[in-house]
Structure 1
């Protein structure tokens, strides 16, 4: 067991799945559709082939286009940027930097992998519907303020381990689903909620993958 303890200390992640991941399987942001609502809403979404990524630039450095605005913008003006708000929402045992909103420590039961992450530096915030996918499915035609709001919508943001977030990238559900199969229902509910809220289209393969994942929700 000595080598196992060493892995935990070095990585900040547990080397074993959570002993009881069930409470995290249903962990979704406030405002997420229930399973029945997600199925109904998915059926109503427009179906279209993905648009082009022409003009999409996420990078905000060196005067670049930054089409979704500055990352983690404090949209509600409460002094806490969206990253800090999501960390405070999704982690347990949270402590903040003295006199500041930034989260400096806490524990994440990662819904995507079913593992426990104890180092904030190992945690990233995932856009469940990737921003590139938003662009391809309708956001390219939005005004800048609507894209800024969408990029910082708490309904589309989930704290996860950085490693799994990097593996997902800009992939859609037909290309990638959380390794923790028990979270497929919740992930799809969040995804459909966001696509519905912004009137975004779905590609045929994307829709089929979401329909399949929503069958895991039960009745």
Structure 2
């Protein structure tokens, strides 16, 4: 029951007005609940250091009876008929048009924080888990109850609408392996990442911590 309450608290259908990226200017575009730079630095220093665990047992696929360890993608966690993908699109895009009589977003424009470019067309947009689910698994989620993994996979603090192409290039990489091509988003990306790791008391690898320290240094 307490995880059901957590899921409800972590989600919701409220929209967030977000500024557009400006090349060469720091982009402060983050989900509600993201730590500020000072708090993120303090939280990062407190994260336990550990070598990432193995991916044994990690299965994201939910088709054909697969394990689906983080639950069905874009679960409607609060039962309001608006799944998490639709909520993030409505939050992050401008000029949003919904499907007639439904929550689903059929069109809109994204100022992509990862690339600094503007994208029109929902089919070209994907929702990124800033802390990848595979990384969550390696850094603590393997030991969680299924309900906690569903809550984490649908936590709006960890979800950002971005270019599908750049999201595919990121995959399951951690900050020591990948950072947004738009350097102006480095600070914001680091803040989001640390917020989620701290919220779920996940571990951090030494190289990962160093990369996050460098990202937060960009906050000024």
Tell me the SS of whatever aligns to 1:217: coil
Q: 1:100-119 to 2 correspondence within 5 Å?
A: 100-119=102-121
* Deviation at residue 117 of structure 1 after TM alignment: 0.3
* Deviation at residue 19 of structure 1 after TM alignment: 8.6
* Deviation at residue 199 of structure 1 after TM alignment: 0.3
* Deviation at residue 77 of structure 1 after TM alignment: 1.5
Tell me the SS of whatever aligns to 1:159: strand
Q: 1:74-153 to 2 correspondence within 5 Å?
A: 74-153=76-155
Tell me the SS of whatever aligns to 1:25: coil
Partner residue, 1:61: 63
Partner residue, 1:185: 187
* Deviation at residue 20 of structure 1 after TM alignment: 3.5
Alpha-carbon distance in structure 2 between the residues aligned to 1:91 and 1:176:
24
Alpha-carbon distance in structure 2 between the residues aligned to 1:20 and 1:169:
25
Partner residue, 2:172: 170
8 Å contact kept, 1:24–1:109: no
Alpha-carbon distance in structure 2 between the residues aligned to 1:55 and 1:166:
22
Aligned CA distance change for structure 1 residues 21 and 100 (closer, same or farther; 3 Å) = farther
Tell me the SS of whatever aligns to 1:158: strand
Which deviates the most, 23-32 or 136-145? 23-32
Q: 1:37-56 to 2 correspondence within 5 Å?
A: 37-56=39-58
Number of equivalences? 201
Alpha-carbon distance in structure 2 between the residues aligned to 1:60 and 1:94:
29
* Deviation at residue 165 of structure 1 after TM alignment: 0.1
Runs of 4+ deviating beyond 2 Å: 18-24
Alpha-carbon distance in structure 1 between the residues aligned to 2:45 and 2:124:
37
Which deviates the most, 58-67 or 18-27? 18-27
8 Å contact kept, 1:24–1:111: no
Deviations 1:58-79, CA, capped at 9 Å, x for gaps: 0000000000000000111221
Alpha-carbon distance in structure 1 between the residues aligned to 2:142 and 2:201:
13
Q: Which has the larger radius of gyration?
A: 1
* Deviation at residue 22 of structure 1 after TM alignment: 7.2
Alpha-carbon distance in structure 2 between the residues aligned to 1:134 and 1:48:
13
Pick from 196, 215, 218 the counterpart of residue 217 of structure 2: 215
Partner residue, 1:31: 33
* Long gaps (5+) in structure 1: 1-17
Alpha-carbon distance in structure 2 between the residues aligned to 1:76 and 1:23:
36
TM-score (norm 2): 0.89
